[in-house]
Amino acid sequence: MPAGPELPSCYRRRVRRLGSRTLSRTSLAAALTVGAWLVLAPSPPGTPAATPSLPSLRTAWPAAAVIDTPARLADGTDFLPLLYVTPDVSLGTAPTPDHAAQRLLLRTTAGERELRRVDATLYPQFFGFTHTADHVYWAESTTAAATETGFWRAPLSPDGAATQIVPPGDVGAATFFGSEDDLVIADDHLYWAATGTTTTRDAGAVTEIRSVPIGGGAVGVRRLDGEYRLSTWPWARTIPGVKGPQQLLDLETGARRTVVGAAAEQLACEPVWCRAVVTTGSDQVALYDMVRTDGTDRRRIGAGTVTAAVPDVARLDRFEPLLQAQDPAAASSPWRLVLYDLVRDRTVAITDGVGAVRANQNMLWWQTRSGGAVQWHSLDLTTLT
């Protein structure tokens, strides 16, 4: 049976906590697995339900433009896109042809520009990508005697070197969920969440909201009681993946919202929409609803044969990407990528045979394979009008 698609599980708590501390071999392996966004999803059910006919992307949005790009570079290595700035400008990794180092590349229609090259013996990992109009930002970790994580930036222009703006000693025990909000840019600052330390054994969990000017400088730290991660600025939210209410906190005004779901639901909430999921004991999705944070406008968008394609909820407060189970005995990937439109209350088929999916800001991209050749496909969701 083919494996499930490589994408984040949105229902289990998968946290990467990295600082300048030593990790055991077991915890290091777990951290490196969690840090990557290509994580195995649950296998599709053995007997999928009949799939209703869905409108295609072209039928629903004739102006939609999907850009197709081969994964294979001219030097024979494979490119893994970790961020799309526009449909034809991406940032990702590829090994050197001799596999002695890992490279971070900016890829455009004109070719590739190398931003970073790190020796493979340091087990480099790149994650937490975000960008402004003229710069891209990311987290980078290496492992020698200990795992160290720093934050970097580089210009999107044809030239200019990458620079480290936060050294490992100032990152703290940063947490990463494969979310576009792992690193957030607001008010000319870069923000991230980290696990704070407590002074007594009985003290509750503490989260640090850390920040630095986007060009580098002194790191500021704000402590919050509880376990939070960043959401759409200026909001933070409690960590999803467990049953119980979700808390949303406005970091500017101090306003709080509490979202309470049904007893069996796992909630993941952004400021506008929540994903409410009920799973079986084998982690299959039994019910999949979308509901506004005030509890209104609940929609049943799937049951049994769908799973979330990306960890963040409701792209642009409108689109929920889903993976829909197809025939698990098929030779290719048994997953179809579909897009639920919260404005028009309809589900649109994007493509079959999807191997991985990712989203950031207004961009959605996915992987397919044909005859052994891997292709990446990118779509600007703002064109879906």
Number of domains present in the structure of the chain: 1
Residue 254: pLDDT over 70: yes
Answer whether residue 217 is part of any domain: yes
Out of 36-40, 196-200, 372-376, the most confident range is 372-376
Please report whether residue 309 resides in a domain. yes
- pLDDT above 50: residue 9: no
Q: What are phi and psi of 145, to 5 degrees?
A: -70, -30
103-123 burial code (b ≥16 CB/10 A, e <16): bbbbbeeeebbebbebeeeee
- Residue range 111-148, pLDDT digits in tens: 999 999 999 999 999 999 999 999 999 999 999 888 99
pLDDT at 25 over 90: no
d(CA 270, CA 226): 17
CATH number where 255 lies: 2.130.10
Residue 316 within a domain: yes
Domain for residue 78, yes or no?
Answer: yes
> Whole domain around residue 209: which residue ranges?
16-383
pTM: 0.86
The pLDDT of residue 62 is above 60: yes
Q: How does the average pLDDT of the chain come out, rounded?
A: 86
Residue 10 lies in a domain: no
| Mean pLDDT along residues 287-302 | 94
Mean pLDDT, rounded, for 59-68 = 94
Tell me which of 77-91, 237-251, 253-267, 303-317 is least confident.
237-251
The arithmetic mean of pLDDT across residues 48-54, rounded, is: 61
Give the pLDDT score at 145: 82
Alpha-carbon gap, residue 311 to 320, rounded angstroms: 10
- What's residue 285's pLDDT? 84
Read off the amino acid at residue 268: A
Task: Compute the radius of gyration of the chain from its Cα atoms.
Answer: 20
Q: What are phi and psi of 77, to 5 degrees?
A: -90, 165
pLDDT at 159: 87
Does the pLDDT of residue 240 top 50, yes or no?
yes
3-state secondary structure 88-153: CEEEEEEECCCCCEEEEEEEECCEEEEEEEEEHHHCCEEEEEEECCCEEEEEEEEECCCEEEEEEE
- DSSP class of residue 383 equals G
Mean pLDDT along residues 40-69: 74
Check whether 34 has a pLDDT greater than 50: no
Question: Which pLDDT score, from 0 to 100, does residue 320 have?
Answer: 98
Average pLDDT score over residue span 12-28: 37
* pLDDT for 17 beyond 60: no
143 part of a folded domain: yes
pLDDT at 372: 85
Which residue reads 């936060």 in tokens?
166
In a domain, 136, yes or no: yes
pLDDT level of residue 216 (50, 70, 90 thresholds): very high
Of 30 and 235, the structure prediction assigns the larger pLDDT to 235
Average pLDDT (361-385) is 95
Sign of CA dihedral 239, 240, 241, 242: positive
Q: Is residue 148 within 8 Å of 139, Cβ to Cβ?
A: no
For residues 158 and 70, which has the higher predicted lDDT (pLDDT)?
70
Residue 7's pLDDT is what?
A: 34
Kindly report, residue by residue over 273-282, the tens digit of the pLDDT: 999 999 887 7
Residue 79 lies in a domain: yes
